[in-house]
Chain A
Amino acid sequence: MIQIDQLSKKYKGADFYAVKDLSLIVHEKEIFGLLGPNGAGKTTLISMLSSLLKPTSGSFSINGLDFQESKNELKQHIGIVPQDYALYPSLTAFENLHYFGSMYGLKGDSLQEDIVSNLKTLGLYDFAHKRIRTFSGGMKRRINLIASILHEPKVLFLDEPTVGVDVQSKSVILEHLKNLNSKGTTIIYTSHHLNEAEHFCTRVAIIDHGKIVCKGIPQDLVVEQKGANNLEEVFLARTGKALRDYA
């Protein structure tokens, strides 16, 4: 379970909070979607939960581990799929995965078997020994995912994992994530693809200006929002149609 309590983040020199007094509980084995317009605070929230950013105030714990007291132990329990491909372009898929797996303390035959198994599942086994720089966007996204799940994390954070990929890659990625979830991994996921989120997530929260404006089961939110036929209409009704450009 992830318990977030009054979490806030204000960037140095910024006039407003990116995340403001946000409290949330995500239950075990949930697929939780964090939705919101650009600059709403989704990536900031995920960055804080994955120990990349220091909160200005507030606290959180993951599976009972406090973010400050059990920093290293907590890192062993979580996996992060960043928005950008965090891979070495000049190394092969296998070398990248072997290295990032080793950083979780994995080694030997079991690491090799895990890499091979994941590569097979995500349709990349034939490209194991090709360099990442030769991969398409969809292939890089899949390797990016495998690099974050080799250690079988209890909680997996995904920051727009399907952005810029074709339908086939997206389908394989989401299928694999559902499979992981069925084995017990809690998934926290951000996306601008509301249709995808509506069908993929067990629960979502719409965030705007660093605060949760509504949360619940996607279908319930659609029902609750007058005149809405889908999650996108709920989203627009809750966050407005004004452009969100920040610099």
Chain B
Amino acid sequence: MHKLWASTYKEFLLLTRDLGGLAILFLMPLVLLVVITLVQDSTFKTIKEVKIPILLVDQDNGTVSKNIGESLSESNSLEVIKKSSETEALKLVQKGDYQLAIIIPKDLSKDLGSKVTTNVDGILARFGLEEEDSVSTTTKIKPKEIRLYFDPATQQSFKSSIKNGIDKMISKIETKTIYKAFQEQLTEDASEIIFDTESFIIFTEIVPGGDKNPIPNSTQHNVPAWTLFAIFFIILPLSINMVKEKNQGTFIRLRTQPVSYATVLGGKTLVFLLVCLIQFSLMLLIGIYLFPLLGLPRLDVSGKLPLLYVTAFFAGLAAIGLGLLVGTVAKSQEQSAPFGATLVVILAALGGVWVPVFVMPPTMQLLSNISPMNWGLNAFYDVFLRNVGVSEIIPEISLLLGFFILSTLIAIIYYEQKNAV
């Protein structure tokens, strides 16, 4: 125990003597968290608040184009700018000034009306409600083409949502026109309402848990993910610290002393775990106090702090275990630094820090289960967003603990094998 305490104290001294390194160790993850959350929040606002300007060329000048224009303008996410020339709109999109130009073709309203009237007349005639001679002659109406010019840089998800939105609008207009045609055929009194044209299905967003679980904001989504990312970045300074000791020759001296490698690693674990927890506390403070000043939503940690620290503790252990392993195996800083950094990025990608696991291909979803960041992230989401109790996060924190034990054991066995005498 005395040797462990001495090792811990030595690690503490080494860390605190490198003030520049210490500042980077604490500041960079905070900068990362703030920048990422600001970027993510602006993306969130792009969807929710900021309007994307689009061009509309109305060659139809009918009810349908009027309806489309109004629906688009009523949308919270789009600002409709009308242009008269398709060529001009195309040029503006090509230049990248606008992401989209919608060209509504000539006679769209007229031809849609004709098509609906023809179909309704045909149906009524089959039911014997229309005189044979009043049924208009069936003429083939050519399908209409609404042209959408997209900026090549436009994301596929935006394209799909616009196409689906316009398709939905046309269907709605078509349905209304059909109802109107039936109404005209079935009653002479225009004020008489035969059909209820209001939408039958409406959508309500509900988060399970009632009032206990408010709808999460961007901060509550980002803080857990990027805090975990920062915690795992401890791999870098830790592995570099170990490689430095090898290069300084101090590891060689330790090998000649009656002290186990586990004790040496124990000292590092305790100090770097403390660093992880301080780092985590700073991130929480940033989320609670700095984010509101930057116009970001405040991080809500009320009633969650004990479980958040439990999760951070075990996530820190897992990160340290991996750092110890990398530091044990690496022979130089040129090996440990790029490998450690790339490993963290890969684990973050696999763990769902950037792209949610559920949108990944099946193979990657399977692989995500082996990323300790995935376990940590799930535990953080459980605490932050789902308000669970300790029993619900036991599986995740057990995996994190198991990962720490396994990676540290591998590091010790590797060291013993490599230096066996």
**Which residues from chain A sit less than 8 Å from chain B, CB to CB?**
48, 50-54, 67-68, 71-73, 75-76, 78, 80, 82, 84-91, 95, 98-100, 102-105, 107, 131, 147-148
Contacts and interface: CB of A to CB of B under 8 A. Distances in A.
18 contacts: A51-B256, A52-B252, A54-B420, A54-B421, A75-B258, A78-B256, A86-B248, A86-B252, A88-B14, A90-B13, A91-B10, A91-B13, A100-B257, A102-B3, A103-B258, A104-B257, A105-B3, A147-B253
Contacts of A98: 6
Nearest to A101: B6
A90 B256 contact: no
Contacts of A73: 258
A102 B3 CA distance: 6
Contacts of A107: 2
B256 A91 contact: no
A20 B147 CA distance: 86
A50 B421 CA distance: 10
B172 interface: no
A51 B258 contact: no
Contacts of A71: 421
Interface string B6-23: 110110011001100000
B250 A87 contact: yes
Given A88-B250, A89-B248, A80 B10 contact: no
B144 interface: no
B255 interface: yes
A53 B421 CA distance: 6
Contacts, number: 81
Given A76-B258, A88-B10, 11 more contacts: A53-B421, A71-B421, A72-B258, A75-B257, A82-B253, A88-B14, A88-B250, A91-B13, A99-B9, A102-B3, A103-B254
A100 B253 contact: yes
B295 interface: no
Contacts of B18: 90
B249 interface: yes
A76 B259 CA distance: 10
Chain B interface mostly: helix
A102 B258 contact: no
Contacts of A78: 256
Nearest to A95: B13
Interface residues of B, number: 24
Contacts of A72: 258
A104 B263 CA distance: 13
A103 B421 contact: no
A89 B3 CA distance: 21
Contacts of B9: 99
Contact of B257 (A85, A95, A103): A103
A103 B250 contact: no
B248 A88 contact: yes
Contacts of B6: 98-99, 102-103
Contact of A91 (B14, B254, B258): B14
A50 B250 CA distance: 15
Given A67-B421, A107-B2, A80 B253 contact: yes
Contacts of B249: 82, 84-87
A80 B256 contact: yes
Contact of B248 (A76, A80, A87, A147): A87
Contact of A102 (B2, B17, B250): B2
Interface in B397-421: 419-421
B252 A91 contact: no
Nearest to B255: A52
A90 B257 contact: no
Contacts of A67: 421
B100 to A, nearest CB: 59
A73 B257 CA distance: 10
Interface string B235-258: 000000000000011101111111
B248 A50 contact: no
A48 B13 CA distance: 32
A107 B253 CA distance: 18
A107 B17 CA distance: 23
A105 B4 CA distance: 11
B80 to A, nearest CB: 64
